[in-house]
Each structure stands twice: as structure tokens, then as C-alpha cells.
Amino acid sequence: MGVLLISGSPRKNGNTELLLSVCDKELKNNNIETEIISLSSKEIYHCTNCDRCLGINKCIQEDDFNDLYKKVLQNRGLVVASPVYVGSPTSLLMAFIQRLTYVSFNNNHTLSKKIGGPIVVAGETGQLTTLNSLIDFYLVNEMIIPSSIYWNIGVGVNKGDVKNDEKGELYITKFAKNLALVLEGMEEK
Ligand SMILES: Cc1cc2nc3c(=O)[nH]c(=O)nc-3n(C[C@H](O)[C@H](O)[C@H](O)COP(=O)(O)O)c2cc1C
């Protein structure tokens, strides 16, 4: 019943992972089990639209996707985070969530009722367009997104910059608190 937190930044130990660790800390404060995974060291190919995932609940491509997909299924919560790359999420994260969506659709909507949301960081601008395209991933998969007191965004260019972004830290902490609330409510049912 934990939360899986996935960083879509190809840069290890950067601002995306720092914001995820803020979320992770607050979830742990609320006694929720968590795991942070960076896609930076993973091999994630693109969806080829072969439809061979139909009915077998996995992708037929032999890379790191299926192990990650199993972890997604084992957790009730899913948080995905990305830096803004040319006004969009990274291609690494998009490859992952496009395959997640396709396998889910082809196997009776396995992502339905999972709870979570996206987190985005950029040096200057593009956070909202990037956040919105990640929100589309949650909405199309019938997932539940708790909110914050603003959007789940941070500001930072160089590694570690988001440590100085007090507002970003507050937005992510509030989001994590609400995520914990929703998770607790769902578990009672
Ligand atoms: C290829 C590339 C494209 C980028 N595009 C944008 C952009 O459109 N807007 C922006 O504000 N920052 C942009 N950035 C800056 C990153 O979003 C920023 O450095 C971020 O903190 C990186 O997160 P990370 O440390 O987790 O990798 C770009 C960086 C790279 C490498």
C-alpha cells in the first residue's frame, strides 16, 4: 500500500530527485512506505504499438520496463517527476508512462484508482505545460490526483538549486500531506 516515486531525469542526484525526496520525507512522516526510483540508470525503450501486451499484463520488450511495472502494480500510490526539457517532460519519462498506459489499457485498466500526481522542476519556465501533460497521464488512466496549495513545481537550474526554493518545498510538502490523507481514507474502505 506504499507509494512509488519515479524520477524521469537522466541526471542523477539532481533537482528532480531532490523534490521527490521532499515528497518522500513527508509521506514517511505520515507512516507511508515509499520507494524512490530514478529512470536515469534504466533502459526504457519506446512503445512500438505492437499490441502484444494485450491480455498478458506485461510488455514483450526486454528492457527494465517490466520490473518497474510490477512495482507500480504493487503500490497504491504513484508519483512521477520530471525536469522541463524544451517545455515538456523528458523523453525518458514519456517513454515509461506511454508504455504504462498502453499495458494498463490492454489489461483491463490496471492503473485505475491508483493515487498520485506529478512533480516538475525547471530553471526558468515551462513548468505548467509540462505538469499538464503529466496530469493527462493520470486522468486518462482513471487515477486520483490530490492537490496542493499551488502547483507541484520547483525552480532550479544547477544540481542542488531547488534546495533554495522554499516555495517549491512547501508546495510539494502540502501535496504529500494530501496524498497521505487520501491514501489513509482509501485504506479504511
Ligand atoms: C535538454 C534540456 C532542455 C531544457 N529545457 C528547459 C526548458 O524548456 N525550460 C527551463 O526552464 N529549463 C530547461 N532546462 C533546465 C532543466 O529543467 C533544469 O536544469 C532542471 O533543474 C534539471 O533537473 P535535474 O537536476 O533533475 O536534471 C533544460 C535542460 C536540458 C538538459
Sign of CA dihedral 23, 24, 29, 32: positive
pLDDT band, very low/low/confident/very high, at 187 (cuts 50, 70, 90): low
Assigned fold of 3-188: Rossmann fold (3.40.50)
pLDDT band, very low/low/confident/very high, at 189 (cuts 50, 70, 90): very low
The answer to whether 87 touches 47, Cβ cutoff 8 Å, is: no
pLDDT in tens, 35-66: 999 999 999 999 999 999 999 999 999 999 99
Torsion of CA 22, 23, 24, 30, to 10 degrees: 110
Torsion of CA 47, 51, 55, 57, to 10 degrees: -10
Which atom of ligand 1 lies nearest, measured to the CA of 157?
19
172 lines ligand 1 (CB under 6 A): no
163 lines ligand 1 (CB under 6 A): no
* Average pLDDT along the chain: 97
Say if residue 90's pLDDT is above 60. yes
pLDDT band, very low/low/confident/very high, at 186 (cuts 50, 70, 90): confident
Question: Residue of the nearest CA to atom 18 in ligand 1?
Answer: 157
Of all residues in the chain, the percent with pLDDT exceeding 70 is: 98
126 lines ligand 1 (CB under 6 A): yes
Residue ranges of domains in the chain: 3-188
Kindly tell me the burial class for residue 90, based on how many C-beta atoms sit within 10 Å of its own C-beta (0-12, 13-18, 19 or more): buried
pTM of the model: 0.97
Question: Residue of the nearest CA to atom 28 in ligand 1?
Answer: 85
Ligand 1: centre distance to CA 174 (Å):
24
38 lines ligand 1 (CB under 6 A): no
86 lines ligand 1 (CB under 6 A): yes
